[in-house]
Amino acid sequence: MLEIKNLRVSYGHDVVLNGIDLKLKTGETVAIVGESGTGKTTLGLSIMRLVEGTVRGVIRFNGKDLLTLSDNEMQQIRWSQIAMAFQNANNVLNPVHTVLNQVMEPMIEHRLKSKEEARNRATELLGYFGFPRERFSNYPHQLSGGEQQRVLLAMALADDPELLILDEPLSSLDAAARGEVGNLLKEIDKHGAKLVATHDLDTASKLADRIAVLYGGKIIEAGPTQDVLSRPRHPYTRALIRAYPNMTTVKDLQGIKGRMTHSVSGCPFHPRCTQAIDTCQTKVPQLVWNQGRHIACHRGGIITLLSTRNLTKSFGSLKAVDSVNLYIEAGETLALVGQTGSGKTTLAKTIMGLHPPTEGTVYLEDARVDKRRKDFYKRVQMVFQNPGESLSHRLSVLEAVMEPLDIQGVGTKKERRKKAIQVVGEVELPQTKDFLNKYPHHLSGGEMQRVAIARALVLDPNLLIADEPTAFLDASLQAKILKLLLNLQEQRGLSMLYITHNIAAARKVSDRMAVMLNGKIIEEGSSNEIVATPKQAYTRDLLRAASTLHSTESSSIE
């Protein structure tokens, strides 16, 4: 019904939409999702031909290219066939008309209905959206935001349009009203199509069959709503979901590094991406069909950074790690959870090459890792369990943080020093001369662990393996270190393998979890699934034994 091809909209030099392709079938609802400023509203306005910029491309509505129609012809279509509910109610509602008149107006203006019919239809629509009848004669400024929103929706539906464009339809409603209005919107107009522009993932998931994620004027991922939301494949989509407060995910909220800027060369998202490569800076990725999803990414969506295949490590007859298959995607945290002695640390050390594997292989970005050379360690780093031991007592803070750079022979001594001091700042430690010259035994446990983290980050690795990084810290320090790790992930796009016996801490920092028992991975999945619906008895035991503040039943692992 609606087909948009290579739509470009610019205001002066600012390109707001940069080659949008979108199809909408009758009866379908598509959500356009993205941060503020990605061009969602502009897209809606372009279809309505209400945009005040240069519009190029094709918008075909029922066979007619809207962009080539005369103003008069467009006037025929606008509101009667294509209607839009605007976001900013205050600017749209006419302050000198009553509510009922506002809704009647378009019907009368388009001479679709007599005054009487219009009144009935308006009454019906307002009633449908739960607008109280006794307030029909109120003026817009007398209404609350939620009530104004309902009026706007009623107005948009007044002429019974085929295509309804909803710009943030639920944003000014409270949670309860959202559910109600959301359901109403879903019910109406099954024969027409809806285009929902929203930054709110909940709205998208409530209303839309398909979702298209917009960034920097381009669609970067599109697919069935539930599919995209439960398993995002573009780094930006995942970042959006991480930043969105909801009851499904268990990980702490995380932002996206940097700010959105327009007119970026290459992929619009590359300055903020977790897996950008050189091509991303120069070439614009095309939206292509890839395993059930449209994705615009040079790397085919989120990549698998590291994976193991049948990785086994035996000590004599004991299989400490037993045929482990794991993968870690770029920019995500995988928590490896299990009790002491389950082989977690051995697995980490085997991945790091500190133990030679008995069997199996490690792959870094699909390349088999056999002999680990210096460049492997540039990309994969580890924070060891006990910072008091892993920091040499002979090296000062500065020397310890510089050590990896010294070993790798990066830059001049001056550059290494500068880099080390910068990273010390990144882990929120003082950069004073006094502190940099301290030795580990002058530091507190929390400071030592931060130094150890800084040391692991100084080479700018892609993957950080953190082995019980908070095991020696009290709860408040633990919280700070976990927050730090989350922030570092946000800022640097780090992938993390977070090893812990504490499933309560793991669920706060991880996107996915793998539960390890006797050297085997017995359960693996997204953290929220593992926490909400554990499949294995052992996982349930772990969850039952995890810290809680209400000890109603005694809990222990049998």
Partner 1 sequence: MHIDLKKEIKESGPGKAGLIILLLMIVMALLAPILAPYDPYQQSTASLLPPSWQHWLGMNHVGQDIWSQLVYGARTSLMVGFGVGIFSTLLGTIFGVSAALVGGIYEKVVMRIIDAFIVIPMVIIVILISAYIRPSIATLILLLSFLSWQGGARVMRAQTLSLKERANVAAARSFGANHFYIAWRHIIPDLGPILLVDFIHGVRRAIFMEAGLAFLGISDPTVISWGMMMRDALSFSYLNVWQWWLVPAGVALSLTIIGLTFISHAAEPVIEPRLRGVGIA
442 binds partner 1 (CB under 8 A): no
Contact 510, 333 (CB under 8 A): yes
Least distance (Å) between residue 48 CB and partner 1 = 58
Residue 99 or 464 having the CB closest to partner 1: 464
Closest among 177, 172, 222, 176 to 195, alpha carbons compared: 222
Per DSSP bridges, beta strands 359-364 and 304-315 are antiparallel
Least distance (Å) between residue 215 CB and partner 1 = 36
Closest among 187, 207, 170, 209 to 25, alpha carbons compared: 209
From residue 458 to residue 477, the character string flagging contacts with partner 1 as x (rule: CB under 8 A) and all else as - is: -x------------------
381 binds partner 1 (CB under 8 A): yes
Residue 528 and residue 34: Cα distance in Å, rounded? Answer: 23
Beta strands in 26-141 (DSSP E): 29-33, 54-61, 64-65, 82-85
Residue 280 or 305 having the CB closest to partner 1: 305
Kindly give, in sequence order, each residue whose CB lies less than 8 Å from that of residue 111, ignoring residues fewer than 6 positions away. Answer: none
From residue 191 to residue 220, the character string flagging contacts with partner 1 as x (rule: CB under 8 A) and all else as - is: ------------------------------
Residue 242 or 313 having the CB closest to partner 1: 313
Output DSSP code: residue 303.
P
Cβ neighbours of 223 (radius 10 Å)? 24
Residue 408 or 502 having the CB closest to partner 1: 408
Cβ neighbours of 87 (radius 10 Å)? 20
231 binds partner 1 (CB under 8 A): no
Least distance (Å) between residue 528 CB and partner 1 = 32
Least distance (Å) between residue 454 CB and partner 1 = 12
Residue 228 and residue 249: Cα distance in Å, rounded? Answer: 14
354 binds partner 1 (CB under 8 A): yes
Give pairs for 8-13: CB < 8 Å, separation 24+: 8/54, 8/55, 8/56, 8/57, 9/39, 9/42, 9/43, 9/46, 9/51, 9/53, 9/54, 9/55, 9/56, 9/217, 10/53, 10/54, 11/52, 11/53, 11/54, 12/53, 13/263
Residue 453 or 515 having the CB closest to partner 1: 453
382 binds partner 1 (CB under 8 A): yes
Tally of helices (H runs) and strands (E runs) in the chain: 22, 22
* Given 56, 133, 283, 374, the residue binding partner 1 (CB under 8 A): 374
Q: 241 — phi, psi (to 5°)? A: -65, -40
Residue 306 and residue 329: Cα distance in Å, rounded? Answer: 7
* Given 139, 244, 363, 376, the residue binding partner 1 (CB under 8 A): 376
449 binds partner 1 (CB under 8 A): no
**Of 143-172, which residues contact partner 1 (CB under 8 A)?**
none
Least distance (Å) between residue 389 CB and partner 1 = 4
From residue 401 to residue 420, the character string flagging contacts with partner 1 as x (rule: CB under 8 A) and all else as - is: --xx--xx------------
From residue 332 to residue 351, the character string flagging contacts with partner 1 as x (rule: CB under 8 A) and all else as - is: -----------------x--
* Given 136, 215, 384, 498, the residue binding partner 1 (CB under 8 A): 384
Sign of torsion, CA 487 490 495 500? positive
373 binds partner 1 (CB under 8 A): yes
Residue 301 and residue 234: Cα distance in Å, rounded? Answer: 5
Least distance (Å) between residue 351 CB and partner 1 = 10
Structure tokens at 521: 């991975």
Structure tokens at 41: 């509203």
Beta strands in 234-317 (DSSP E): 288-289, 294-295, 304-315
394 binds partner 1 (CB under 8 A): yes
Least distance (Å) between residue 451 CB and partner 1 = 11
Q: What's the length of the chain?
A: 558
Per CB under 8 A, the segment of 133-141, 237-245, 282-290, 400-408 that binds partner 1 is 400-408
* Given 13, 141, 393, 414, the residue binding partner 1 (CB under 8 A): 393
* Given 275, 346, 390, 526, the residue binding partner 1 (CB under 8 A): 390
370 binds partner 1 (CB under 8 A): no
Tell me which residues touch partner 1 (CB under 8 A): 349, 352-354, 372-374, 376-378, 381-382, 384-386, 389-394, 403-404, 407-408, 452, 455, 459
